[in-house]
Structure 1
Amino acid sequence: MPPSRVEERNALQKRRRRSRIRAVTAINLILLFMIIAIIGYYYITEGNEQIGRQMTAGSDPGKPSDDTDPGTSGDASVPGPAAQAQQESEMETVPEAESDISAPETVQTAPHPVKEEEGVQEDIGSEEGTDTSGSSSYVTGESAVQAEDEEGAAESAAEEPEAETAPAAHTTGSDSVILNFVGDMQFSGKVEQLLQEKGYDYPYKRLGSLFKSDDLTVGNLETPVTDGGTGAANKTYVYKSSPDALPELAAAGMDVVNVANNHILDQGVSGLKDTLAYLRHYGIQYMGAGMNAEEAYAPVYVKRKGMTIALLGFSRVIPEVSWYAGANRAGVAGVYDPAAAVQAIRKASKKADLVIVTTHWGKERASVLEDHQPELAHAFIDAGANLVIGSHPHVLQGLEMYKGKWIAYSTGNFIFSKSVTEATQDTAVFQASCSKDGACAMKLIPCRAELGQPIPLSGEKAAKILKKVENMSSPNVSIDSTGRAAAG
Structure 2
Amino acid sequence: MSLSRSESRQKEKAQREKRRRKTVRLSIAIAGSIILLTGAGLTLSQTGGLPDWLSFGKEQSSSDGLTGSSDDHPQVDANAPSETPGGTPEETPDASDDEAAAETPEPSAEPGIVNEAAEQVSLSFVGDMLPGEYISSIMAAKGYDFPYQQVQLYLSEPDIMAGNLELPVTTGGTPIENTPYVYKGSPDALPAMRDAGFDVMSLANNHALDQGLEGMRDTMKHLREAGIGYMGVGENDKEAFAPLLMEAKGLKVAYIGVSEVIPFATLKADSNVPGIAETYDTTRTVAAIRKAEEEADIVVVMVHWGEDGKDTAEELQRDYARQYIDAGADLVVGSHPHVLQGFETYKGKWIAYSLGNFVYASNPSGLLGETGVLDAVCDKEGDCQLKFNPMHVIESQPIPLEGEPAQKVLDRLTSVSFGVKLDNEGAIVPIQ
CA distance in 2, matches of 1:209, 1:106: 23
Bigger-Rg structure (1/2): 1
1:404-419 matches, within 5 Å, as 404-418=348-362
Deviations 1:247-304 (A, max 9, x none): 0000011000110001111000000000000000010000111111111000011111
Give the residue type in structure 2 aligned to 1:262: N
TM-score, scaled relative to structure 1: 0.66
CA deviations on 1:154-176 (whole Å, 9 max, x unpaired) are xxxxxxxxxxxx96243313231
- Partner of 1:326 in structure 2? 270
Q: 1:109 to 1:468 in 2, by over 3 A?
A: farther
**Correspondence for 1:271 among 212, 215, 221:** 215
Equivalent residues in 2 for 1:35-54 (5 A)?
A: none
Give structure 1 stretches of 5+ with no counterpart. Answer: 1-69, 79-102, 111-165
SS in structure 1 at match of 2:153: coil
**Letter matched to residue 76 of structure 1:** S
Instruction: Give the aligned partner of residue 230 of structure 1.
Output: 174
- Contact 1:184-1:415 at 8 Å conserved across structures: yes
- Alignment CA distance shift 1:479-1:104 (3 Å): closer
Q: Distance in 2 between matches of 1:405 and 1:225?
A: 34
Q: Which runs of 5+ in 2 are unaligned?
A: 5-67, 83-108
How many angstroms apart in 2 are the aligned matches of 1:303 and 1:420? Answer: 36
Q: Aligned equivalents of 1:167 and 1:396: distance in 2?
A: 24
In 1, distance between residues paired with 2:385 and 2:3?
A: 31
Are 2:69 and 1:75 aligned?
Answer: yes
Q: Matches of 2:414 and 2:371 in 1, distance apart?
A: 13
Quickly say closer, same or farther: Cα 1:377–1:281, change in 2 above 3 A. Answer: same
Aligned partner of 1:484 among 422, 427, 430: 427
Structure 2 partner of 1:241:
185
Aligned to 2:21: none
2:165 maps to amino acid = L
The alpha-carbon distance between structure 1 residues 105 and 266, as it changes in their structure 2 partners (threshold 3 A), is farther
- How far did 1:418 drift? 4.2
Using a 3 Å threshold, how does the CA distance of structure 1 residues 404 and 321 change in structure 2: closer, same or farther?
same
- Is 1:353 equivalent to 2:297 in the alignment? yes
Q: Which has the higher contact order (CA 8 A, sep 6+)?
A: 1
Q: Which of the numbers 388, 391, 398 marks the counterpart of 2:335? A: 391
Q: What is the CA–CA distance in structure 2 between the aligned matches of 1:187 and 1:443, rounded to whole Å?
A: 25
How many angstroms does 1:379 deviate by? 0.4
Distance 1:365 1:71 in 2: 39
For the aligned residues, what is the CA RMSD? 2.4
CA distance in 2, matches of 1:241, 1:454: 19
Identify the residue that residue 111 of structure 2 maps to in structure 1. Answer: 168
CA distance in 2: counterparts of 1:240 and 1:421, whole angstroms: 23
C-alpha separation in 2, matches of 1:105 and 1:436 = 27
Deviation at 1:372, TM superposition (A): 1.5
Q: How does 1:291-440 map to 2 (within 5 A)?
A: 291-418=235-362, 421-440=365-384
Instruction: Quote the offset at 1:453 in angstroms.
Output: 1.6
Q: How far, CA to CA, are the matches of 1:400 and 1:285 in structure 2?
A: 27
The letter for the 1-side match of 2:265 is V
Q: CA deviation at 1:450?
A: 2.8
CA shift for structure 1 position 420: 5.0
Question: Would the aligned equivalents of 2:364 and 2:393 in 1 still touch at CA under 8 Å?
Answer: no
Contact 2:311–2:339 (8 Å) recurs in 1 = yes
Q: Contact (CA 8 Å) 2:75, 2:224: kept in 1 or not?
A: no
Q: Given that residues 225 and 240 in structure 1 are in contact (C-alpha distance below 8 angstroms), is that contact kept between their aligned partners in structure 2?
A: yes
1:259 corresponds in structure 2 to 203
Q: TM-score, normalised by structure 2?
A: 0.75
Give the alignment of 1:178-197 within 5 angstroms.
178-197=122-141
Residue 210 of structure 1: aligned partner: 154
What SS does the aligned partner of 2:69 have?
Answer: coil
Which residue matches 1:460?
404
Deviation at 1:449, TM superposition (A): 2.3
Displacement of 1:75: 3.3
Q: For 2:365 and 2:70, locate their aligned partners in 1 and report how far apart those are by CA, in whole Å.
A: 40
After superposition, the C-alpha distances for 1:345-401 in whole angstroms (9 at most, x for unaligned) are 001111211100000000010012222101110000000000000000000101000
1: CA distance, partners of 2:76 / 2:404 = 49
Contact 2:374 2:386 in 1 (8 A): yes
- Aligned partner of 1:5 in structure 2 is none
Q: Deviations over 1:27-73 (max 9, x none)?
A: xxxxxxxxxxxxxxxxxxxxxxxxxxxxxxxxxxxxxxxxxxx9869
1:146-157 to 2 correspondences below 5 Å: none
CA distance in structure 2 between the partners assigned to 1:456 and 1:421 by the alignment = 16
Do 1:229 and 1:270's aligned partners in 2 also have CA atoms closer than 8 Å? yes
- Aligned twin of 2:386: 442
Q: Percent identity?
A: 44
Match of 1:410, SS state, is coil
- Is the partner of 1:247 in helix, strand or coil? helix
Distance in 2 (alpha carbons) for counterparts of 1:334 and 1:344: 12
